[in-house]
Amino acid sequence: MSMTAAHEITAGFMPLFDSAVLVCAREMGFAAREGIELKLQRETSWANIRDRIAIGHFDVAHMLGPMPLACSLGLTPIASDTIVPFSLGLGGNCVTVSNAVWDGMAAHGAEPDLDPARAGAALGALIRERVASGREPLRLAVVHPHSGHNYELRYWLAACGIDPSTEIEIVIVPPPFMADALAAGRIDGYCVGEPWNSASVAVGTGHIVTVKALLWRNSPEKVIGARKSWAEANPDVLAALLRALHHSARWCQDPDNHAELAALMAEPRFLGLPASVQMPILTGRLRLGSGVERAIDDFFVPFDKAANFPWKSHALWFYTQMVRWGDIEHTPRNLAIARDCYRPDLYRAALKPLGVALPGANAKVEGALREATPVGSAGASLVLGPDGFFDGQIFDPDRIDAYIAAQKSAGSRD
């Protein structure tokens, strides 16, 4: 198809490595091959992405997994029905703290092994020590209120016996400003996607204490959010975009392409950081600080393990955390809105003609797979998991009331 006949799609993205599948869809020609002229616009904050898709500046956008739920549930300044037909990958976040906080955690038994339970116990002991000496609460930053970062940070702290509502202060800082805020002493730590953890380690101001890939293995992170009205008016164009993203994700996963991918993402129009700072997310070999390096399985997965499938169980887990932390009331209507936000039907319709592996179900029990497991699928073979939460909890999307009640009884509600 000639470019004159191409369908134009305007997409917003944030300077994070997990925008790579969207970036490469354009830069590597996958979108053009599907007859799409993909116009990318870089943003500086998730709030800008949220507002610009709501008012129609963007047709689709690189988005935080819970953000389309927040848009559709009316939790945003401009309510807008936003759907998720594609996931941009699994994992990729870390929790980074200042060197001073790391020293305090190490004094209470933390090891440079990324173990969430050990790190959480040490952080809890440090927090109690600070309270006893009359010091200010630690200030930890997340990228947006309705973010996987906020919910996974809170989940981790609460599971380790720390009340994130009262024992620490949680503030919002856009991803590209995290490392600078830590270096300036404005915050004591943060949860953010790469490369903004490695950026602090590289300049010697931060230490990575745990990672999303260990808090909840192979868990959802960024998605493609699409304006529902645009998607419904342009089903064939959306399907073509999903196919382009599929081919892009497969290209990004291939280790043979990682050097080229890191160089591309290092460009000023995307991340503007050295290619060497991009490599940890691709190799899973993270420098934690103090010269320590660790390898993490499935640290960031852009394609394998059904990484692009918009599981309804992912949306529903985010919904339970919105309820848990007082963002929204648990009602049948809100639950239905959350469930309908992720659209595996659109993903299946777009990709079925390609004969790719498609899960047999639209939701799964999260935390049930202790190891990588081949599953039945339409098309090629498919391997899922492991998908466990670090505290051994199971999330069954068919038993949401019980899950929410158990979290409330654990004393983790405002």
Q: Distances from the Cα of 308 to the Cαs of 90, 106, 140, in angstroms?
A: 8, 37, 30
* Separation CA 55–CA 367 (nearest Å): 37
Q: Count, in order, helices (H) and strands (E) of the chain.
A: 18, 18
Residue where the block lists tokens 């019980």: 402
**pLDDT tens-digit map of 174-227:** 999 999 999 999 999 999 999 999 999 999 999 999 999 999 999 999 999 999
In this prediction, residue 121 carries a pLDDT of: 98
* Closest C-alpha among 147, 138, 165 to residue 321: 147
Q: Distances from the Cα of 191 to the Cαs of 179, 207, 367, 370, 382, in angstroms?
A: 11, 12, 22, 25, 31
Mean pLDDT across 331-347: 98
**pLDDT tens-digit map of 352-404:** 999 988 998 999 999 998 898 888 766 667 899 889 999 999 999 999 999 99
In this prediction, residue 374 carries a pLDDT of: 87
Mean pLDDT across 149-171: 97
In this prediction, residue 413 carries a pLDDT of: 41
Share of the chain above pLDDT 70, in %: 97
Does residue 2 have a pLDDT over 50?
no
**pLDDT tens-digit map of 136-148:** 999 999 999 999 9
Mean pLDDT across 17-26: 98
Q: What are phi and psi of 358, to 5 degrees?
A: -125, 130
Does residue 262 have a pLDDT over 90?
yes
**Entry pTM:** 0.96
Mean pLDDT across 332-344: 98
Beta-strand pair 82-87/222-227: antiparallel
- Domains of the chain and CATH, by start: 99-215 (3.40.190.10)
* Separation CA 102–CA 178 (nearest Å): 17
Confidence class of residue 74 from pLDDT cuts 50, 70 and 90?
very high
DSSP calls for 346-358: HHHHHHGGGT--E
* Separation CA 216–CA 311 (nearest Å): 15
Share of the chain above pLDDT 90, in %: 90
In this prediction, residue 376 carries a pLDDT of: 72
* Separation CA 181–CA 173 (nearest Å): 8
Does residue 3 have a pLDDT over 50?
no
Separation of first and last alpha carbons in the chain = 55
* Separation CA 46–CA 149 (nearest Å): 12
Q: Provide the phi-psi class of 31: left if phi over 0, else alpha when psi is between -120 and 50, else beta.
A: alpha
* Separation CA 387–CA 311 (nearest Å): 13
